[in-house]
Structure 1
Amino acid sequence: MEKTAKKPAKVNAALLSRVAEVKLTYRSKVKPSERPQVTSSADSYRILKETWDTGKLEFVEQFKVLLLNRANRVLGIYQLSTGGVAGTVADPKLVFVAALKACASAIVLCHNHPSGNTKPSTADLALTKKMKHAGEVLDIAVLDHLILTSESYYSLADEGLL
């Protein structure tokens, strides 16, 4: 018995006008040679601290992502979220959509602790593990996760927790 190929159904043109268009763009006005380069957690800390809103550093928790090219030069800083005094949301899908959009080869995760305590919480460690795994799947290296305060920082990579 011979099967006949099923003809594709006609698509209603009116329905197509209701489909969202997705555009992926990345624009930088900075020459690659002029971008800061990250070679250590201290470099990441310096770059992130300079761009942090000092009025929020000790007030509310924020999560940012440093997007890096293959030479670990900064493509951009993505402010992912602003939360409350005790936490903020870091959705891995949003972290990696930004990394993919910028065509980043690596990222550095960072959030602040308004309390001034740099010690990572259990949730911080679990999130880092989840992000590292997602990065491995996408071939985007998660180089570090910094916890920033107004006076210092904690690097999960430096402490062997990444």
Structure 2
Amino acid sequence: MRTQINEIKISYKDRILSDKWVKLNSSQSAAEFIYKQWDKNTIALHETFKVVLLNNSNKAKGIFEVSKGSITGTLVDIRVLLAVALKCLSVGMILTHNHPSGTLIPSASDKQITKKIKDAATLLDIKVLDHIIIAPNADYFSFADEGLI
């Protein structure tokens, strides 16, 4: 009797030519890029956690929405986040989430998840360059600028 097993296939396909990818070389350029991609109809409604995936030149390969939550929080599955980063061969990432209230001060949970993701990513040779919190009015807080990453 033959045992049946699922086949696992991993693939990644660029849809946009790499010469058109945006280079993110500062927290300000990253925050502006992130804010432009955010759905302005929901930015003040609920928290969403996303990751900007980067190549070796800090060019954005894409943005992946990791989770969508409530007004005051969202859960982040680090395994899913890192699986996506590995699948698209990212060497760097910028974490980002919004605070619907407009308050830019990171919570203890924000700091904790950042550390957990950074530690896990380090094992896979993926750099976490920043964690940016954005507000509905386009203000932002950068963990890197404040020495928290």
Normalising by structure 1, we get a TM-score of: 0.88
Select 1:108's aligned residue among 62, 83, 94: 94
Corresponding residue for 2:30?
44
- Secondary structure at the aligned position of 2:94 is classed as strand
Tell me the CA shift for residue 75 of structure 1.
0.8
Runs of at least 4 residues off by over 3 Å: none
- Secondary structure at the aligned position of 2:10 is classed as coil
2:61 is aligned with 1:75: yes
Q: In structure 2, how many angstroms separate the alpha carbons of the residues matched to 1:20 and 1:62?
A: 32
- Secondary structure at the aligned position of 2:50 is classed as strand
Give the counterpart letter for 2:143 in structure 1: L
**Cα deviation per residue 1:82-124 (whole Å; 9 max; x = unaligned)?**
1011100111111100100000000000000000001000000
- Secondary structure at the aligned position of 1:117 is classed as coil
Q: Say which structure, 1 or 2, has more relative contact order (CA 8 Å, 6+ apart).
A: 2
Matches within 5 A, 1:120-131: 120-131=106-117
Corresponding residue for 1:156?
143
Corresponding residue for 1:118?
104
2:127 is aligned with 1:141: yes
Identity among equivalent positions (%) equals: 37
**Cα deviation per residue 1:50-86 (whole Å; 9 max; x = unaligned)?**
1111111000000000000001111110011110111
Please list every run of 5 or more consecutive structure 2 residues that lacks an aligned counterpart in the other structure. Answer: none
- Secondary structure at the aligned position of 1:57 is classed as coil
Please list every run of 5 or more consecutive structure 1 residues that lacks an aligned counterpart in the other structure. Answer: 1-11
Q: In structure 2, how many angstroms separate the alpha carbons of the residues matched to 1:115 and 1:145?
A: 18
Q: In structure 2, how many angstroms separate the alpha carbons of the residues matched to 1:56 and 1:21?
A: 38
Corresponding residue for 1:53?
39
RMSD: 0.9
- Secondary structure at the aligned position of 2:41 is classed as helix
- Secondary structure at the aligned position of 1:56 is classed as coil
Larger radius of gyration: 1
Normalising by structure 2, we get a TM-score of: 0.96
- Secondary structure at the aligned position of 2:42 is classed as helix
2:50 is aligned with 1:64: yes
Matched residue count? 148
